[in-house]
Structure formats: structure tokens, C-alpha cells
Amino acid sequence: MIALYIITVGCLVAVNGAILGSVLLLRRMSMMCDAIVHAILPGLVVAYLITSSRGSFAMLFGAIGSGIIAATLVEFVHLKFRITREASIGLMFTTLFSIGIILLALFAGQVKLDQDCVLFGELAYVPLDLWITDEGLNLGPYPIWTLAFLTIGVVTYVSVGFRPLVLCAFDKEFARLQGIKVQRWHYSLMLMLSLAAVTSFQAVGAIMVMGFFILPPATAYLFISSVRSLILLSSSIGILCVVSGFYLAQYLNVSIAGCIITLNGFVFFSALASKLYLKLNLSPVRNT
């Protein structure tokens, strides 16, 4: 049962990461998840200081608030001061994350957040965080429920917004002429990203979340010719790496999230090598 809990949480994180990560990759802004994942720290601390509660809702609103502020500041600095988006992301996430670190240090006695846990997380602890009702009914780990709701939200969001999201990613100007509210879709994506980041990082940690968002879509991108196949293939790669990464971690007795992401990296470089091999030896065109 413990293995099932951990694998389920890992798979849910992988699917959310693959779907939103694919959209970010198409928009050439994968590192935005880096900014948001780091920027949610001050939001979490401030939410705790205001509400004195580690309840899910307070933390969620704190994280979403700082995620949206980070996304807005990145765009503002990028567009108004003509600084590249990458530089703007680097500027914002380091500044906001360091503010979070200072707040944690200043209010260390009051805020019960562990920096190592925020950064690295630990999938192995998932089975300990059980939801037991007043009647004593064991509903399984909390993260499974929060991630399941998140997955429903993410799948619904991308299904409803598939066409505008694709068009905004491909040709923003044409999308605007078609009457699509480009900015509205941008910030709704940032909102979903903040939600996904805060829900996922509790299970796998801030650093590993980025691996789930970036690596499977980057691998799938080498082989696809449509956005639908990008999302499907990256989700499959993510799930495959979670399952095999879990058993590899058990075998090697190492961090589960670390093993999953290492495996994702290995899959990416293997895919890249085989793609290059095919390109050099068989066909000059991309695989469709």
C-alpha cells in the first residue's frame, strides 16, 4: 500500500507537470515554473504569519498570491524595461526566494516550515500524511486528494483552453486579432502553475518540481508534430519515470524524487542521442 501511495502521488505530480510544462515549453518560458516555485516561499511564510495556521487554504492562497505577483513582476520588468524574460525570471525568483529565506530566519520560532523540506521534499513521507476522519476512517494520504483535485482542474483548464493556449503560444498577434484575450490566458496559466507548484512541491520539493515540469515535455518535444501528442507523450514519459524511478530508488536505497528526476534526465539524453543518430543515419527530417 505504501508503494501504491507514493507511486500515485508521483504520477499525479508527473501528469500535472507534463501538461502545464508542455504549454510552458511551447511558450518558450519553461523557466517560469522555476520563478514561481521559488517565489511561493515568501507567500507561504506571510500566509502563516497572518493566519497562524498551516491549514491548506491559507498556504494555498499565500502561494497563489506570491506566484501571481512573481509572474506579473517578470512580465512587467521584461516588457517595460526591455530586459530578456530569462533575466527577468532570474531577477524575480532570487529576490523573492531570498525574501522568503529572510522571513523564515526572522520568524523562525513562529513559522514551522523546514527549508530542506521546501527545497527537496520527500516522497517517502507521503504515506505518513494520512487523512483520517473523525469516525476513524482512513482516506489515504492528503497529497493524493489535493493532487487529484489539482489534476481534474488542470485537465479541465487545458481542455477548455486548448485552442486559445495553443494560438497564444504559436502566434500571439494572430490570437489577439482573433479576439482571444492573450493577457487573460497568460495570467490564468500562471495561476494554474502556482496552484500546481504549491500542491506538488509539498510532496516532491521545489527543486524536483521543476524536473517534472521541464524534462518530460522536453523529451517528448524531440519526437512529436502536434500539441496533443506532446501532452500525451510527456505525460506517459513522466508516469513511466515515476514508476521505474520508485523501484530504482528502493533498490539503491536513495531519494525517490531524486531518482525519478535522474531517470527523467537519463531518458532525455538517451532520446536526444537516438534522435541525433536517426537524423545522421536515416532521415534528414524530424519524426512525424
Partner 1 sequence: MTPNSCLLARNLSFSFGENPAIHEISVEFTRGKITGIMGPNGSGKSTLLKCLSGIIEPHSGDVLAFGGLLSDFQDKISYIPQKEKIDWDFPITVKDLVRTSLYKSLKWYERFSAELIRLSDQAIQTMGLEGFENKQIGQLSGGQQQRAFLARALASNAEVFLLDEPFTGLDAKATEDLIRILKKIRDDGKSVIVVHHDFSNAALFLDEIILLKTTVLKFGSANEVINSPELRRAFGFPGMGQMH
CB of 37 to partner 1, least distance (A): 25
Q: How many CB atoms lie within 10 A of CB 234?
A: 28
Helix (H) or strand (E) holding 122: none
Q: How far apart are CA 150 and CA 195, in angstroms?
A: 8
Q: Are 238 and 14 in contact (CB under 8 A)?
A: yes
Q: Find the part of the chain contacting partner 1 (CB under 8 A) among 49-57, 141-149, 190-198, 227-235.
A: 227-235
What is the DSSP code (8-state) at residue 161? T
Q: How far apart are CA 97 and CA 70, in angstroms?
A: 10
| 99 is a contact residue toward partner 1 (CB under 8 A) | no
Task: Report the residue number, 167 or 248, with the smaller CB distance to partner 1.
Answer: 167
> Which ranges of 27-80 does DSSP label H, i.e. alpha helix?
32-51, 56-80
Q: Are 242 and 46 in contact (CB under 8 A)?
A: no
CB of 78 to partner 1, least distance (A): 16
CB of 84 to partner 1, least distance (A): 16
Interacting residues with partner 1 between 105 and 134 (CB under 8 A)? none
| 164 is a contact residue toward partner 1 (CB under 8 A) | yes
Q: Which of 133, 138, 159, 283 binds partner 1 (CB under 8 A)?
A: 159
Vertex 41 angle, CA 206 and 50, to 5°: 145
The count of residues interacting with partner 1 (CB under 8 A) is 29
Q: Which three cell numbers stand for residue 78?
A: 521584461
Task: Report the residue number, 44 or 169, with the smaller CB distance to partner 1.
Answer: 169
Q: Which three cell numbers stand for residue 265?
A: 534526465
CB of 201 to partner 1, least distance (A): 28
Q: Is the dihedral of CA 158, 162, 165, 170 positive or negative?
A: positive
Q: Find the part of the chain contacting partner 1 (CB under 8 A) among 98-106, 164-172, 196-204, 208-216.
A: 164-172
Q: Which of 49, 117, 167, 271 binds partner 1 (CB under 8 A)?
A: 167
CB of 21 to partner 1, least distance (A): 14
| 169 is a contact residue toward partner 1 (CB under 8 A) | yes
| 21 is a contact residue toward partner 1 (CB under 8 A) | no
Amino acid identity of 59?
Answer: M
Q: Are 164 and 175 in contact (CB under 8 A)?
A: yes
CB of 177 to partner 1, least distance (A): 6
Q: How far apart are CA 83 and CA 27, in angstroms?
A: 17
Q: Which of 3, 160, 254, 272 binds partner 1 (CB under 8 A)?
A: 160
Q: Is the dihedral of CA 190, 195, 197, 200 positive or negative?
A: negative
Interacting residues with partner 1 between 24 and 43 (CB under 8 A)? 26, 28
Task: Report the residue number, 133 or 225, with the smaller CB distance to partner 1.
Answer: 225
Q: Which three cell numbers stand for residue 22?
A: 508542455
* Chain residues in the site for partner 1 (CB under 8 A): 26, 28, 159-164, 166-167, 169-171, 173-174, 176-179, 221, 224-227, 229-230, 285-286, 288
